[in-house]
């Protein structure tokens, strides 16, 4: 049958709609490539069988659709009416859904979407945040209509735009309409589509061509594929209208060979259209004739570049040439040619049908309409989305995309693939449109948006993209052929740890030269990922080059294992884990001590960044690294075996250390082993600093601390207690008496929150509160205690308050629970013990005559993104409420004071910390070093230890040594710690914990450590990725 | 005309002019590399980038058309910085062993290095290729030196239509040549050497034969005979910095004597001989076709002096081989005569004779290896050196070429007519043949008085002429009223066109001259660089000057040739001629 | 006449013998033969009256036009960024261990070839691979072993 007129289209539409009405339900099963790879075929068969079995086939029209977008939920099914989305289906779920939804008319909730943060079941697809925040024009039919049914396409006004154009519009009118719509090319460049058509219209020629560029090769992009799989007729209709507008009778779709399903469906759609007379001679009885040929690429990314694409169609090597001349003048076979991308053609019919004004009302001033993006990488909702131009990156990632999985932090979004650049947390408020992306050094590209979390190394990412373009360079021009190779070689050596000073400058110079001089778009943009990562992540390049350190734990040549790499002190984690597994616990302890003299303490209070990088987490749960460390330390320190007192030969030089906290002790420990005479001046009567007075005993018993400090000081450190620099001994005296000074005084003062009434009685700042408890001052706590803050001090304060007899303990935190910096386990323990957490609440005023009796609070909501990528909480107006309290403990932050030193002597930052060279820990004064919190602000124990160690190295170097620490004899590791083979899933083994009832009212240590067998079993869970 | 501002000055240029040409027309030179005027403009090396105001990136000036109001800077900091990096990148994939490279001091990359001073190599890294293919007797390909300018690709495909030199693979792995496992020596390569002529570096070079020649010269037991082709004398001077088109016949003969060659003969002698043989063959064929019902001959007859062309035909038009004249090329004839007639006359054992041909041609190096070019196990010619190689030998020997006295060729194979001289240029063989044939047939000189056939001169790809025979001598009465149609082409693209006509049966011609290299031997693959149309024209003019300056300008009037027939060969196409001066061809088609 | 000559002739009849038909013909040969032998490239050149070197130059430009003999099943692992981020290397390692071949090689029995390829457009379900024209996504070493075992068994059944 042929379609000859608009009436024929109408008739098909009516017919189709009438037939639809015969069914009570329609079931849309996503049959796009993504879901096909998740075995949606099997589900479909099961579903159809289930319907037959239940005798319900006549009630339900089953449609196989293109991509719904929610690819990470696939296979998916939508049942209408009701727009109910079922997801993550498998064949066994089919009969349940049929029985519930179709037979009983009830929603089968167990297969509905469940919001991952709230746990709420959201059956209606349009209420799911992922869909709710989208705006579909191009993808309107995708995932809705049967991809194989032209009738259904027509029933949704398909080919109506073509009919409108052929019956009532002149080519110039069509071009005018597209121009007025403001549609810009969706392939990446963003050239106004109407203008391109106009140029081609004006070029005189007997033959012109319309080419649809479906050579979607950008890594991370799959929009075109999905559109062709789901709604090919929309693209065909767009090409037809384009052909009519410019006067072309021939269209070509150039599509990648990597997309077999899209090729098949597109080819089928073209055949169908031809059979109906929608392609071919005299379409709809007009004098317009047009046909489309499909050309399949053969695996060359560069053929996405339009001049290369045309050469490829001509049967040649796909090598680009310089433009001008442009294809609109001199294109395929030398004839005027319009090349647009799939998505651009997808916009044409809607614009013609609904008018340019409607289209131009969507989006921003210079970027009209919507943009389809492919979300991939480290993002919860991976898949295909369409959003209005002008939404912010943050909205895409957090609202549509659902944020970053596994509690990791957002590091970078890569747009535009190998031609693009990166957008950082600082760009989350950036509007997504052509011009603002370019302004920020990225590009819109064709729509691939790859999210990456903190575990992504930016140098490695740059290397990846460079490898890609290098591989895909056509080889015609020198800048691209050789330049990208040289850039890749430099990047490779940096990631291998062989980078040299000046390499980054070479990359910049090469990158800029290639941008300036390559022949085509691919080459000119090839350096972008490198230049963009250098712009935003220069420090990562420097770390790789200078410190052979990859903070993301990706560049495996630079470290033993990701956990070791993540440890600021660089402890050989897989080494000691394998020793524990082999039963050599003392060796394990000694191995830890080589890099970190505080195994017992770090086993208890370390924030264990190592565990967040553990490869085992990809399988089940990370290894309990800190717990195993504690096990090893407890085993040795409690064994009663005395330490062999080693006497290190003195080298005649002396170092003074101020502060016997973790940083000072570490520095002293290593220096003493090196032969230095070390005097540590400690203001208080105990050593340990914050460990001694800032951490409650239920987390860190005094006894454990004492044993560990003893083991350190026996290396030959002299601690001078109760000695305050500035009053007991002048700082200048230290300088003259010692060859070098290391200042590690930490932070001692609680930062005020700065609200009304903070000076009142009953406001007890967190650090003071904890110190007083630890120093056994008589601290009385009763009634309602409210802690303000979300860090570990806040949690410590809250749990301590509870133990001291508080009736009720609240924690007010202005952000969400997920954003609390305190250790997750501590938070859970606190909640379990009865602490009440108020998320998104901030105090505005302490109320009370004399003593505090209440706090006035406001509720907050997440606002714009801050520079760190976190949303800055904003006050919800008129949300004020009052909590009656007896004691308020603000615990927001701490700072240092330096009574013994002035800014004139040593450089100090605006935040009140020492200015130190991060490589050497040296302050602006030669010979004076500083580290730990006093140099970096409030931070964690392990970084203080790392600083102390680093300072010991540079002090040694400064005093003429080699800077190589005496860490002791090498310890031989078990030759083969684990059996080769497949790891079997097993959750982590747990330490013993003090029962809730037994711990609530006292300061007994809560975690009780491992049983030996459990420790060995846990150690054996280690994948030993260092050896693989 | 449009206005373009270059480096602050406004110039008027024709629409369609590239920025590079516009600058050049106004004496602004833009450093360039892959560019070859009128032949090869693909903008691939990017050395010629310039800054166009308002442009996002720099533009390769050789492929960017000038447009009205365009403002161009050819030497801004931005341009110079980028140019330098590109040059550094080029060098990073090039072995920097200049001293052991045959192109040392004659290398376009070195020239560029003189313009763009580098202090260090900062981008060293992997090298992309390192294949040395010396399988061909004519051409050596050293891919490690290739900088992928693709000039050879253009000449091999666009100009010669051979299509052997092509880019393969892509990106950093791209290499230029025959396909991966194919050796030049076993390929369809015609050995024309046009690729060698345009290669800016040492990636393509002729197979060196100077070593063998030196050895022979030093070998006291050998009588070493040298002959020089007509085109050599019109170009050799360029090696010694003479203006293109300077004839150095006398100095060349003197230099060859000084080098120690025992006899210095002129290939031109054999060119005259060729005319005798080929002219006679043509007349026989015509007679056969016009008068014989069971004719065995085919027309048009095609000249056979150009060995590159011969091999091309053997590959591509094997079915048309009977159209080729059976005459050997002149230097092969001379070689054969040296080892027979001359040896006999001088009473020298032919095995002690070493014949060297100085040729403008790389294909001749292949030609002497053809089995048909041996007699009783002895090669007709023992070594071929190109004009360039001769130049090197002269320099190497410390001969002050420019101050040499004029020398002369030796007898008895040294005398030649003007007709032989023009063998060196496209159209020359045809003209020389017609001078003789016309006179043989009609008893009259070619009409016009100049002995030239103007339409057959020049650089057009295909040139044609027709000559009506009127009032012939009685024995040629069958030609009365016949209009002889001839065509001339140089370069294998043109050859293919003419051969396609023959193949399709649409060729209107009786006689066709084909030379493998564009412009003929004057711009053969063995000639000094550079070669472009201006230089071709200069050399061509020199050739015609040489002809016009000769007292005898028709081959059949060469007294020594006549003597040769009388004393030795008998008559054209006689038994001895066939034995020594004619050859056969082999199909190389894989069909 | 070799069967491949016949194939090439048919393909040329079907697509035409103009230069712009070269790619579909090359693709047609690869689809049937799984690679382009030197012989077939020369045949194509002859059929289209093109220099063989030009056919070779064109074919080697495109990574899907294999010119080395390929296995019955060509495994193409997506090497692109998201697949890399999601453990592509472990997948390759698994396959290499299982089939005892490295990337770029074909198993001695001629059953499997292992290659890397550009983005397959399954970044949202990374890592992904193609085996001939079938897509497999969300790969884990486990899943890959299952899939390959399936192919190995299939092969054995067919033999």
Q: Convert C57-76 to b/e letters by CB count within 10 Å (16 or more is b).
A: bbbbbbbbbbbeebbbbbbb
The residue segments making up the domain with residue B180 are 128-207
Does the active-site annotation cover B305? yes
Please indicate, yes or no, whether residues B75 and B140 belong to a single structural domain of this protein.
no
Say if CB A769 and CB A889 are below 8 A apart: yes
Does the active-site annotation cover B278? yes
The answer to whether the CB atoms of A315 and C62 lie below 8 A apart is: no
Q: Is C65 on the interface with B (CB under 8 A)?
A: no
What is the per-residue pLDDT for A35?
A: 85
What is the per-residue pLDDT for C79?
A: 86
Structure tokens at C117: 């390829």
The answer to whether the CB atoms of B125 and A472 lie below 8 A apart is: no
Residue B409 lies in a domain: no
Query: In the CATH hierarchy, which fold is given to the domain comprising A562-643+972-1027?
Result: Fumarate Reductase Iron-sulfur Protein; Chain B, domain 2 (1.10.1060)
Other CB atoms within 10 Å distance of the CB of residue B396: 11
Please indicate, yes or no, whether residues B169 and B298 belong to a single structural domain of this protein.
no
DSSP string across A293-345: EEEE--S-GGGGSHHHHHHHHTTS------SSSPTTTS-GGGS-EEEEEHHHH
Cα A707 from Cα B203, distance rounded (Å): 75
All CATH 3.10.20.600 domain ranges in chain A, comma separated:
363-456
Give residue A1024's pLDDT band: very low, low, confident or very high (50, 70, 90).
Answer: confident
Partners of B167 on chain C (C-beta within 8 Å) are 57, 61
Q: Evaluate the omega torsion of the peptide bond into residue A144 and state whether it is cis, within 30 degrees of 0.
A: no
Residues 159-218 of chain B with CB under 8 A from chain A are: 167, 169-174
What is the per-residue pLDDT for A954?
A: 95
Cα A1004 from Cα A982, distance rounded (Å): 41
Q: Return phi, psi of residue B468, to 5°.
A: -85, 130
* Chain C nearest C-alpha distance from B590 (Å): 9
Q: What is the 3-state secondary structure (H, E, C) of A767-818?
A: HHHHHHHHCCCCCCCCCEEEEECCCHHHHHHHHHHHHCCCCEEEEECCCCHH
Please indicate, yes or no, whether residues B294 and B202 belong to a single structural domain of this protein.
no
CA angle at A449 for the pair A446 and A453, rounded to the nearest 5°? 160
The answer to whether the CB atoms of A376 and C82 lie below 8 A apart is: yes
Q: Is C138 on the interface with A (CB under 8 A)?
A: yes
Among the options B108, B206, B238, B278, which is catalytic? B278
Partners of C39 on chain B (C-beta within 8 Å) are none
Of the candidates A64, A106, A104, A107, the residue with the CA atom closest to the CA atom of residue A85: A107
The answer to whether the CB atoms of C53 and B167 lie below 8 A apart is: no
Give residue C159's pLDDT band: very low, low, confident or very high (50, 70, 90).
Answer: low
DSSP string across C44-57: HHHHHT--HHHHHH
Q: How far apart are the first and last CA of chain A?
A: 64
Which residues, including other chains, have CB under 8 Å from residue A457's CB and lie 6 or more apart? A495, A540, A550, A551, A552, A553, A554, A555
The answer to whether the CB atoms of C54 and B157 lie below 8 A apart is: yes
Q: Is C22 on the interface with A (CB under 8 A)?
A: yes
Strand partners, A854: A847, A884
- Supply the mean pLDDT for chain B: 94
Give residue B589's pLDDT band: very low, low, confident or very high (50, 70, 90).
Answer: confident
CA angle at B518 for the pair B516 and B520, rounded to the nearest 5°? 65
What is the per-residue pLDDT for A687?
A: 92
Residue B74 lies in a domain: yes
DSSP reduced 3-state for A991: coil
The answer to whether the CB atoms of A519 and B57 lie below 8 A apart is: no
Among the options B21, B51, B206, B281, which is catalytic? B281
What is the per-residue pLDDT for C70?
A: 87
DSSP state of B294: T
Query: In the CATH hierarchy, which fold is given to the domain comprising A654-748+896-958?
Result: FAD/NAD(P)-binding domain (3.50.50)
DSSP state of A980: S
Question: How does pLDDT run across B384-423, given as a tens digit for each residue?
Answer: 999 999 999 999 999 999 999 999 999 888 889 999 999 9
DSSP string across B130-192: --EE--SSSEEEEGGG-----HHHHIIIIIS-----EEES-GGG-EEES-TT--GGGSS----
What is the per-residue pLDDT for A874?
A: 93
Please indicate, yes or no, whether residues B556 and B505 belong to a single structural domain of this protein.
yes
Cα C105 from Cα B560, distance rounded (Å): 69
What is the per-residue pLDDT for A983?
A: 67
| Nearest residue on chain B to A469, alpha-carbon basis | B171
* Chain A nearest C-alpha distance from C47 (Å): 15
Please indicate, yes or no, whether residues B169 and B313 belong to a single structural domain of this protein.
no
DSSP state of A259: -
Please indicate, yes or no, whether residues C79 and C154 belong to a single structural domain of this protein.
yes
Q: Is A474 on the interface with B (CB under 8 A)?
A: yes
What is the per-residue pLDDT for A989?
A: 92
A neighbours by CB contacts (3+ pairs under 8 Å)? B, C
% of residues, chain A, pLDDT over 70: 98
Say if CB A96 and CB A35 are below 8 A apart: no
Number of domains chain C is built from: 2
Please indicate, yes or no, whether residues B73 and B163 belong to a single structural domain of this protein.
no
The answer to whether the CB atoms of A298 and C65 lie below 8 A apart is: yes
Residue C28 lies in a domain: yes
Q: Convert B107-134 to b/e letters by CB count within 10 Å (16 or more is b).
A: bbbeebbeebeeeeebbebeebbeeebe
All CATH 1.20.1440.230 domain ranges in chain A, comma separated:
459-558
DSSP state of A396: I
The answer to whether the CB atoms of B93 and A482 lie below 8 A apart is: yes
Residue C66 lies in a domain: no
All CATH 1.10.1060.10 domain ranges in chain A, comma separated:
562-643+972-1027
Parallel, antiparallel or unpaired: strands A808-812 and A784-788: parallel
The answer to whether the CB atoms of B167 and C57 lie below 8 A apart is: yes
Please indicate, yes or no, whether residues B468 and B513 belong to a single structural domain of this protein.
yes
Partners of C63 on chain A (C-beta within 8 Å) are 298-300
Please indicate, yes or no, whether residues C148 and C88 belong to a single structural domain of this protein.
yes
Cα B152 from Cα B136, distance rounded (Å): 16
Say if CB A726 and CB A899 are below 8 A apart: yes
DSSP string across A628-694: HHHHHHHHHHTS-PPPP---PPP-S-EEEEE--SHHHHHHHHHHHHTT-EEEEE-SSSSS-THHHHT
What is the per-residue pLDDT for A977?
A: 47
All CATH 3.50.50.60 domain ranges in chain A, comma separated:
654-748+896-958, 749-895
Please indicate, yes or no, whether residues C115 and C148 belong to a single structural domain of this protein.
yes
Test the A interface: residue of B170, B173, B175 with most A CBs within 10 Å: B170
Of B86, B122, B170, which has the smallest distance from its Cβ to A517's Cβ? B86
Residue B372 lies in a domain: no
All CATH 3.40.30.10 domain ranges in chain A, comma separated:
6-132
Other CB atoms within 10 Å distance of the CB of residue A881: 11
Q: Is C54 on the interface with B (CB under 8 A)?
A: yes
Please indicate, yes or no, whether residues C35 and C77 belong to a single structural domain of this protein.
no
What is the per-residue pLDDT for B334?
A: 95
Structure tokens at A397: 């990632």
Please indicate, yes or no, whether residues C83 and C37 belong to a single structural domain of this protein.
no
Q: Is B258 on the interface with A (CB under 8 A)?
A: no
Question: How does pLDDT run across A808-845, given as a tens digit for each residue?
Answer: 999 999 999 988 989 888 999 999 999 999 999 999 99
Say if CB A622 and CB A408 are below 8 A apart: no
Rg (CA), chain B: 25
Residue B132 lies in a domain: yes
Question: How does pLDDT run across B46-99, given as a tens digit for each residue?
Answer: 999 999 999 989 999 999 999 999 999 999 999 999 999 999 999 999 998 999
Say if CB B272 and CB B561 are below 8 A apart: yes
Specify the DSSP element, H or E, that contains B359: strand B353-359
Partners of C57 on chain B (C-beta within 8 Å) are 166-168, 179
Cα B17 from Cα B68, distance rounded (Å): 11
Other CB atoms within 10 Å distance of the CB of residue C12: 21
- In C16-126, alpha helices (H): 22-33, 38-48, 52-59, 81-85, 88-99
Does the active-site annotation cover B521? yes
Which residues, including other chains, have CB under 8 Å from residue B105's CB and lie 6 or more apart? none
Please indicate, yes or no, whether residues B18 and B137 belong to a single structural domain of this protein.
no
* CATH number of the domain bearing residue C121: 3.40.30.10
Cα A534 from Cα A511, distance rounded (Å): 11
Residue C64 lies in a domain: no
Query: In the CATH hierarchy, which fold is given to the domain comprising A459-558?
Result: de novo design (two linked rop proteins) (1.20.1440)
What is the per-residue pLDDT for A645?
A: 61
Question: How does pLDDT run across A890-943, given as a tens digit for each residue?
Answer: 998 888 877 777 777 788 888 788 999 988 999 999 999 999 999 988 888 999
The interaxial angle of helices A6-21 and A160-168, nearest 10 deg, is 160
Q: What is the mean pLDDT of residues B131-153?
A: 95
Of the candidates B402, B428, B29, B43, the residue with the CA atom closest to the CA atom of residue B229: B428
Cα A199 from Cα A202, distance rounded (Å): 5
Number of domains chain B is built from: 3
Rg (CA), chain A: 34
The residue that leads in pLDDT, B303 or A1002, is B303
Specify the DSSP element, H or E, that contains A577: helix A573-581
> Class of A749-895 per CATH?
alpha beta
Of B86, B122, B171, which has the smallest distance from its Cβ to A473's Cβ? B171
For the entire predicted model, the pTM comes to: 0.91
Parallel, antiparallel or unpaired: strands A410-415 and A654-658: unpaired
Q: What is the mean pLDDT of residues A872-896?
A: 91
Does the active-site annotation cover B77? no
Please indicate, yes or no, whether residues C87 and C109 belong to a single structural domain of this protein.
yes
* Phi and psi based region of residue C68 (left: phi greater than 0; alpha: psi -120 to 50; beta: remaining): beta
Q: Is pLDDT above 90 for A231?
A: yes
Cα B373 from Cα B394, distance rounded (Å): 28
Q: Is pLDDT above 90 for A322?
A: no
> Class of A6-132 per CATH?
alpha beta
Residue B533 lies in a domain: no
* Chain A nearest C-alpha distance from C142 (Å): 9
What is the per-residue pLDDT for A644?
A: 63
Is the domain A150-360 a CATH 3.40.50.11540 member?
A: yes
CA angle at B528 for the pair B524 and B529, rounded to the nearest 5°? 100
Cα A540 from Cα A662, distance rounded (Å): 27
Cα A505 from Cα A539, distance rounded (Å): 13
| Nearest residue on chain B to C63, alpha-carbon basis | B169
Half-sphere exposure for B258 (CA within 13 Å, toward CB): 21
DSSP string across A272-301: HHHHTTSSBSSGGGSS--BEEEEEE--S-G
Model ipTM? 0.93
Structure tokens at A265: 């469906």
Of B59, B92, B167, which has the smallest distance from its Cβ to A482's Cβ? B92
Among the options B367, B389, B439, B546, which is catalytic? B367
Please indicate, yes or no, whether residues B481 and B571 belong to a single structural domain of this protein.
yes
Residue C67 lies in a domain: no
Of the candidates B18, B39, B25, the residue with the CA atom closest to the CA atom of residue B533: B39
The answer to whether the CB atoms of B58 and A479 lie below 8 A apart is: no
Structure tokens at A383: 């898949």
Q: Is C85 on the interface with A (CB under 8 A)?
A: yes
Partners of B188 on chain C (C-beta within 8 Å) are 51-52
Of B58, B125, B174, which has the smallest distance from its Cβ to A489's Cβ? B125
Q: What is the 3-state secondary structure (H, E, C) of A537-551?
A: HHHHHHHHHHHCCCC
Partners of B171 on chain A (C-beta within 8 Å) are 470-475, 481, 485
Query: In the CATH hierarchy, which fold is given to the domain comprising A363-456?
Result: Ubiquitin-like (UB roll) (3.10.20)
Of A220, A256, A982, which has the smallest distance from its Cβ to C81's Cβ? A220
The answer to whether the CB atoms of A486 and B123 lie below 8 A apart is: yes
Q: What is the mean pLDDT of residues B472-496?
A: 93
Q: Is C120 on the interface with A (CB under 8 A)?
A: yes
The answer to whether the CB atoms of C123 and A259 lie below 8 A apart is: no
- Supply the mean pLDDT for chain A: 91
CA angle at B94 for the pair B89 and B98, rounded to the nearest 5°? 125
The residue segments making up the domain with residue C137 are 73-158
Q: What is the mean pLDDT of residues A675-693?
A: 92
The answer to whether the CB atoms of C123 and A221 lie below 8 A apart is: yes
B-C C-beta contacts closer than 8 Å: 45
The answer to whether the CB atoms of A513 and B86 lie below 8 A apart is: yes
């Amino acid at each position: 049958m042929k379609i000859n007129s608009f009436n024929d289209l109408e008739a098909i539409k009516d017919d189709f709609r009438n037939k639809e009405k015969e069914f009570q339900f329609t079931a849309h099963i996503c049959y796009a490539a993504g879901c096909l790879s998740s075995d949606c075929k099997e589900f479909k068969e099961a579903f159809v069988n289930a319907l037959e079995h239940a005798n319900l086939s006549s009630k339900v029209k089953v449609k196989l659709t293109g991509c719904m977008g929610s690819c990470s939920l696939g296979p998916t099914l939508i049942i209408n009416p009701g727009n109910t989305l079922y997801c993550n289906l498998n064949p066994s779920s089919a009969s349940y859904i049929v029985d519930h939804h179709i037979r009983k008319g009830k929603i089968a909730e167990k297969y509905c979407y469940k919001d991952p943060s709230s746990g709420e079941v959201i059956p209606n697809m349009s209420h799911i945040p992922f869909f709710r925040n989208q705006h579909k024009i191009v993808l309107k039919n995708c995932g809705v209509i049967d991809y194989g049914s032209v009738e259904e396409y027509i029933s949704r006004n398909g080919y109506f735009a073509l009919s409108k154009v052929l019956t009532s519009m002149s080519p110039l009118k069509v071009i005018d309409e597209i121009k007025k719509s403001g549609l810009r090319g969706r392939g990446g460049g963003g050239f106004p589509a109407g203008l391109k058509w106009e140029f081609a219209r004006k070029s005189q020629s007997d033959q012109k061509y319309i080419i649809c560029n479906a050579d979607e090769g950008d890594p991370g992009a799959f929009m075109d594929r999905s559109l062709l799989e789901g709604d090919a007729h929309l693209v065909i209709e767009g090409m037809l209208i384009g052909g009519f507008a410019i006067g072309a009778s021939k269209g070509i779709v150039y599509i990648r060979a990597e997309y077999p399903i899209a090729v098949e469906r597109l080819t089928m759609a073209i055949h169908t259209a031809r059979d109906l007379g929608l392609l071919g001679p005299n379409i709809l009885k007009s004098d317009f004739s047009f046909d489309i040929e499909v050309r399949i690429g053969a695996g060359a990314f560069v053929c996405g570049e339009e001049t290369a694409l045309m050469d490829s169609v001509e049967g040649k090597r796909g090598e680009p040439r310089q433009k001008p001349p442009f294809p609109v003048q001199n294109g395929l076979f030398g004839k005027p040619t319009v090349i647009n991308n799939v998505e651009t053609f997808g916009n044409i019919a809607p614009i013609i049908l609904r008018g340019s004004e409607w289209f131009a009302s969507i989006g921003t001033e210079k970027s009209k309409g919507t943009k389809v993006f492919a979300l991939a990488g480290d993002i919860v909702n991976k898949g295909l989305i369409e959003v209005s131009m002008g939404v912010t990156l943050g909205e895409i990632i957090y609202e549509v995309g659902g944020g970053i999985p596994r509690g990791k932090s957002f590091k970078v979004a890569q747009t535009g693939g190998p031609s693009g650049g990166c957008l950082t947390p600082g760009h989350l408020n950036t509007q997504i449109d052509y011009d603002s992306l370019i302004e920020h050094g990225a590009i819109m590209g064709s729509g691939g948006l790859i999210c990456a979390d903190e575990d992504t190394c930016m140098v490695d990412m740059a290397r990846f993209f460079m490898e890609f373009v290098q591989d895909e360079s056509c080889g015609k021009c020198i800048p691209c052929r050789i330049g990208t190779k040289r850039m890749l070689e430099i990047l490779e050596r940096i990631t291998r740890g062989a980078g040299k000073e000046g390499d980054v400058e070479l990359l910049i110079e090469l990158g800029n030269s290639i941008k300036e001089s390559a022949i085509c778009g691919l080459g000119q943009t090839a350096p972008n990922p490198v230049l963009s990562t250098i712009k935003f992540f220069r420090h990562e390049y420097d770390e790789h080059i200078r410190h052979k350190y990859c903070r993301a734990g990706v560049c495996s040549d630079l470290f033993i294992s990701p956990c070791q790499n993540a440890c600021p002190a660089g402890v050989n984690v897989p080494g000691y884990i394998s020793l524990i597994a082999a039963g050599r616990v003392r060796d394990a302890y000694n191995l830890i001590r080589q890099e970190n003299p505080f195994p017992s303490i770090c086993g208890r209070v370390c924030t264990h960044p190592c565990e967040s990088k553990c490869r085992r987490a990809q399988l089940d749960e990370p290894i309990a690294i800190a717990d195993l460390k504690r096990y090893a330390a407890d085993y040795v320190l409690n064994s009663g075996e005395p330490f062999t007192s080693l006497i290190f030969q003195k080298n005649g030089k002396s170092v003074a250390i101020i502060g016997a906290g973790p940083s000072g002790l570490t520095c002293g420990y290593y220096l003493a082993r090196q032969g230095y005479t070390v005097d540590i001046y400690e203001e208080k009567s105990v050593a340990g600093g914050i460990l001694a007075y800032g951490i409650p005993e239920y987390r860190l018993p005094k006894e454990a601390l004492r044993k560990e400090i003893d083991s350190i000081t026996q290396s030959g450190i002299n601690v001078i207690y109760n000695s305050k620099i500035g009053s007991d001994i002048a700082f200048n005296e230290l300088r003259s008496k010692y060859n070098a000074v290391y200042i590690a005084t930490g932070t001692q003062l609680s930062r005020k929150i700065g609200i009304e009434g903070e000076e009142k009685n009953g406001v007890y700042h967190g650090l003071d509160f904890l110190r007083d408890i630890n120093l056994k001052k008589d601290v009385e706590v009763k009634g309602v205690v409210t802690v303000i803050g979300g860090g570990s001090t806040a949690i410590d304060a809250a749990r301590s308050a509870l133990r001291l007899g508080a009736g009720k303990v609240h924690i007010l935190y202005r952000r969400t629970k997920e954003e609390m910096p305190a250790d997750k386990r501590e938070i859970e323990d606190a909640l379990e013990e009865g602490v009440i957490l108020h998320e998104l609440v901030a105090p505005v005023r302490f109320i009370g005559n004399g003593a505090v009796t209440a706090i006035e609070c406001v509720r907050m909501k997440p606002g714009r993104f801050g520079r760190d990528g976190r949303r800055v909480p904003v006050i919800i107006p008129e949300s004020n409420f009052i909590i009656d309290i007896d004691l308020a403990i603000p615990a927001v932050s701490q700072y240092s004071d330096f009574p013994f030193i002035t800014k004139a002597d040593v450089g100090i930052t605006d935040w009140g910390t020492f200015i130190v060279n991060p490589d050497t820990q040296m302050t602006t004064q030669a010979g004076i070093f500083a580290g730990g919190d006093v140099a970096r602000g409030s931070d964690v124990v392990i970084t203080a230890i790392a600083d102390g160690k680093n300072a010991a190295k540079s002090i040694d170097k400064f005093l003429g040594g080699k800077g190589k620490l005496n860490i002791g004899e090498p310890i031989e590791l078990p030759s083969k710690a684990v059996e080769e083979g497949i790891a079997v899933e097993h959750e982590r083994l747990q330490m013993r914990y003090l029962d809730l009832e037994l711990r609530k009212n006292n300061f007994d240590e809560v975690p009780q450590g491992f049983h030996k067998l459990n420790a060995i079993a846990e150690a054996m869970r280690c994948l030993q990725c260092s050896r693989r | 005309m449009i206005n373009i501002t270059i480096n602050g000055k406004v110039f008027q240029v024709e629409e369609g002019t590239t920025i590079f040409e516009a600058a050049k027309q106004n004496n602004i030179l833009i450093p360039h590399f892959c560019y070859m005027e009128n032949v090869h403009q693909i903008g691939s090396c990017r050395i010629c980038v310039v800054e166009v105001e308002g442009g996002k990136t720099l533009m390769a000036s050789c492929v960017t058309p000038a447009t009205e109001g365009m403002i161009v800077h050819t030497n801004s900091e931005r341009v110079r910085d980028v140019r330098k990096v590109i040059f550094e990148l080029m060098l990073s994939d090039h072995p920097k062993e200049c001293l052991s490279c045959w192109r040392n001091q004659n290398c376009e990359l070195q020239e560029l290095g003189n313009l763009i001073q580098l202090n260090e190599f900062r981008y060293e890294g992997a090298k992309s290729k390192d294949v040395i293919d010396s399988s061909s007797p004519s051409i050596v390909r050293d891919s490690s030196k290739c900088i992928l300018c693709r000039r050879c690709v253009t000449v091999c495909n666009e100009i010669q239509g051979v299509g052997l030199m092509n880019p393969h693979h892509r990106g950093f792995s791209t290499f230029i040549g025959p396909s991966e496992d194919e050796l030049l020596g076993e390929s369809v390569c015609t050995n024309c050497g046009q690729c060698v002529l345009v290669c800016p570096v040492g990636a393509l070079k002729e197979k060196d034969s100077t070593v063998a020649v030196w050895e022979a010269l030093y070998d006291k037991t050998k009588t070493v005979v040298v002959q020089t082709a007509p085109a050599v004398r019109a170009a050799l001077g360029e090696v010694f910095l003479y203006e293109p088109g300077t004839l150095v016949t006398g100095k060349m003969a003197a230099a060859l004597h000084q080098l120690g060659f025992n006899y210095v003969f002129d290939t031109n002698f054999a060119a005259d001989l060729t005319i005798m043989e080929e002219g006679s063959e043509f007349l026989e064929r015509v007679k056969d076709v016009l008068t014989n019902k069971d004719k065995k001959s085919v027309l048009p007859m095609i000249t056979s002096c150009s060995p590159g062309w011969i091999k091309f035909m053997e590959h591509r038009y094997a079915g048309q081989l009977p159209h080729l004249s059976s005459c050997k090329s002149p230097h092969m004839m001379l070689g054969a005569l040296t080892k027979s007639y001359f040896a006999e006359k001088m009473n020298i054992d032919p095995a002690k004779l070493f014949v060297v041909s100085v040729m403008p041609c790389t294909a001749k190096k292949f030609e002497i290896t053809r089995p048909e070019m041996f007699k009783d196990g002895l090669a007709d010619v023992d070594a071929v050196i190109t004009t360039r190689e001769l130049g090197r030998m002269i320099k190497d020997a410390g001969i002050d070429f420019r101050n040499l006295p004029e020398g002369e060729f030796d007898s008895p194979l040294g005398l030649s007519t003007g007709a032989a001289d023009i063998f060196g240029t496209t159209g020359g063989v045809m003209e020389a043949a017609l001078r003789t044939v016309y006179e043989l047939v009609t008893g009259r000189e070619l009409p016009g008085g100049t002995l030239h056939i103007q339409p057959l001169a020049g650089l057009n790809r295909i040139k044609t002429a027709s000559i009506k025979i009127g009032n012939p001598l009685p024995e040629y009465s069958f030609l009365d009223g016949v209009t002889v149609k001839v065509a001339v082409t140089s370069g294998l693209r043109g050859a293919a066109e003419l051969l396609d006509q023959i193949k399709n049966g649409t060729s209107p011609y009786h006689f066709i001259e084909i030379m493998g290299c564009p412009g003929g031997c004057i711009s053969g693959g063995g000639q000094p660089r550079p070669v472009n149309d201006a230089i071709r024209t200069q050399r061509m003019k020199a050739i015609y000057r040489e002809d016009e300056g000769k007292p005898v300008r028709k081959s059949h009037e060469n007294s020594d040739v006549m003597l040769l027939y009388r004393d030795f060969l008998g008559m054209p196409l006689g038994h001895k001629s066939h034995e020594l001066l004619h050859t056969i061809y082999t199909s190389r088609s894989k069909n | 006449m070799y069967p491949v000559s016949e194939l090439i002739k048919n393909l040329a009849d079907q697509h035409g013998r103009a230069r712009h038909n070269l790619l579909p013909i090359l693709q047609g040969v690869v689809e049937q033969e799984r690679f382009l032998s030197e012989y077939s490239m020369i045949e194509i050149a002859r059929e289209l009256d093109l220099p063989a070197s030009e056919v070779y130059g064109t074919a080697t430009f495109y990574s899907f036009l294999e010119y080395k003999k390929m296995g019955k099943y060509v495994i193409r692992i997506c090497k692109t960024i998201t697949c890399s981020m999601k453990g592509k290397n472990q997948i390759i390692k698994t396959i290499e261990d299982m089939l005892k071949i490295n990337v770029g090689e074909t198993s001695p029995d001629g059953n499997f070839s292992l290659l890397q390829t550009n983005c397959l457009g399954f970044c949202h379900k990374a890592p992904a691979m193609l085996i001939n024209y079938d897509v497999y996504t969300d790969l884990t070493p486990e899943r890959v072993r299952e899939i390959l075992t399936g192919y190995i068994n299939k092969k054995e059944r067919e033999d």
